Amino acid sequence: MEATVDSIDFLIRSEDDFLNFLEEMKAREGLDSKEFIFPNVKFAGWPSLDINVKGERYHSSITSAMLFGMSMLNEEIQRAFATIRYGSQNLQRLTNEDKQRLDINFKISEGSSDAEGTTDKIINAVTDFLRDTMSGLNGWQKMLVIITMVGAASTCGYHYISENAVTERHATDRQVEIAKTTSDGINKAIEATLDYKINGKSAISDKVTSHGQAGKSALVKQLAADPTVETVTLGNEKLTRQDLNTYNSRQSVDRERKERTDIFSIKGVTRTGPTNQDININVVRVSNDECFTIKASADVITQDELTAIVDALSNNSHIKISYLEVIEKGAVSIGQFNTIVSE
Reported as a pLDDT band with limits 50, 70 and 90, residue 176 is very low
Q: What ranges in 276-336 are assigned the alpha helix state H? A: 303-315
User: What was the pLDDT predicted at 131?
Assistant: 87
- Between 308 and 6, the more confident residue is 308
Q: ∠ CA(253), CA(257), CA(261), 5° rounding?
A: 140
Q: CATH 2.40.50 region(s) of the chain?
A: 256-340
- What is the spatial distance between Cα 301 and Cα 230, in angstroms, rounded to a whole number? 44
- Between 188 and 87, the more confident residue is 87
Burial class of residue 41 in the structure, from the number of CB atoms within 10 Å of its CB (0-12 exposed, 13-18 middle, 19+ buried): buried
Would you say residue 248 has pLDDT above 60?
A: yes
- Between 184 and 23, the more confident residue is 23
User: What was the pLDDT predicted at 163?
Assistant: 42
> How high is the mean pLDDT of the chain?
84
CATH code for the part of the protein at 256-340? 2.40.50
Reported as a pLDDT band with limits 50, 70 and 90, residue 301 is confident
Would you say residue 159 has pLDDT above 70?
A: no
User: What was the pLDDT predicted at 263?
Assistant: 96
Altogether, the residues listed in the chain come to a count of 343
Query: Helix-strand-coil percent breakdown of the chain, rounded to 5?
Result: 45, 25, 30
Would you say residue 160 has pLDDT above 70?
A: no
> What percentage of the chain reaches a pLDDT higher than 70?
84
Burial class of residue 199 in the structure, from the number of CB atoms within 10 Å of its CB (0-12 exposed, 13-18 middle, 19+ buried): middle
Are the C-beta atoms of 106 and 125 separated by less than 8 Å?
A: no
- What is the spatial distance between Cα 141 and Cα 198, in angstroms, rounded to a whole number? 10
Reported as a pLDDT band with limits 50, 70 and 90, residue 252 is low
- Between 251 and 19, the more confident residue is 19
What phi and psi values does residue 92 have, to the nearest 5 degrees? -70, -15
> What percentage of the chain reaches a pLDDT higher than 90?
48
- What is the spatial distance between Cα 194 and Cα 160, in angstroms, rounded to a whole number? 10
101: Cβ contacts below 8 Å, ≥ 6 apart: 121, 122, 124, 125
Reported as a pLDDT band with limits 50, 70 and 90, residue 18 is very high
What phi and psi values does residue 191 have, to the nearest 5 degrees? -60, -40
User: What was the pLDDT predicted at 174?
Assistant: 44
Q: Which of 194-198, 245-249, 295-299 has the highest mean pLDDT?
A: 194-198
Reported as a pLDDT band with limits 50, 70 and 90, residue 92 is confident
Q: Which of 119-128, 194-203, 248-257 has the highest mean pLDDT?
A: 119-128
